Amino acid sequence: MSIMRRVRDMTVATLNERLEKAEDPVKLIDQFLWSTREEIIGAERLYQQCLTHSNHLKAQWLQAEQLKEKREQQAIIALKAGEEHVARIALTEKASSEERATQYRDLYEQALQGTTELEQQLRELRSEYQTVYDKREYFSARMESLRLQQRMNERFTGGNANGPGHQPGGMFRKLEDRISDMELEARSLRDLRKAGGQLLSEAGFALQNTIEREMEQLKRKLQQEGWKS
């Protein structure tokens, strides 16, 4: 297992542990996604560098192979021409090219193995990022549902400072009580006015009777004094 893989395992394990204690898991997941995205960008850059280096090593290996074959053909041609000295020089360069080809081939195979492993880890990182991102969308939806439910609870239950009085039933009951009080007050004023009119009428009738009695008394007094009506 590579160092990168061990680090990633530790990071994911830490995320799982922190998620169990987090009050806002979406925020924690966003931090993890940002960190993973940075790792992916760095891994992609490293992969391109490794790929370029592997291609360079492969080119050096193939070039040495071609030079080895070329020097072997030159040695054959020199021998056929009776130029053994030239043939020996060609074979010496062939041996040098063969050694260099072997070295570059070994380096290329090592680089290819590392590049292949890095490519696999890069695929795992991308897959891990997508998996966590999908979970992030799910948890985000759950958190939004929870926030909306809490707001509804505050709106219709404990969050209402005046309690049931703000409900339609309570509101109309209060309005009905107020109108009833107003109606009672109106009836009281009407009865008072009616009683007042009756008292005034009775008072006028009594006064008229008094005046008539006084008139009769005055007439009798005048008659006694000799007044004739």
User: Is the pTM value of this prediction over 0.75?
Assistant: no
CA pair distance 45, 52, nearest whole angstrom: 11
Domain that holds residue 46: 3-153
Query: Under a CB-based contact definition with an 8 Å cutoff, are residues 118 and 54 in contact?
Result: no
In tens, the pLDDT along 176-212 reads 776 777 777 777 767 766 666 665 566 566 666 676 6
203 found inside a domain: no
Q: 160 phi and psi, to 5 degrees?
A: -85, 115
206 found inside a domain: no
21 found inside a domain: yes
Query: Under a CB-based contact definition with an 8 Å cutoff, are residues 49 and 122 in contact?
Result: no
Find the length of the chain.
Answer: 229
Give the contacts of 19 (CB within 8 A, at least 6 positions apart). 25, 28, 29
* Of the candidates 133, 93, 123, the residue with the CA atom closest to the CA atom of residue 5: 123
Confidence tier at 7 by pLDDT (50, 70, 90): very low
Structural domain count, the chain:
1
The whole-number average pLDDT for the span 103-107 is: 95
Confidence tier at 3 by pLDDT (50, 70, 90): very low
End-to-end C-alpha distance for the chain, whole angstroms:
148
167 found inside a domain: no
Radius of gyration of the chain (CA): 56
SS3 percent helix, strand, coil of the chain, rounded to 5, is 90, 0, 10
71 found inside a domain: yes
CA pair distance 177, 179, nearest whole angstrom: 6
170 found inside a domain: no
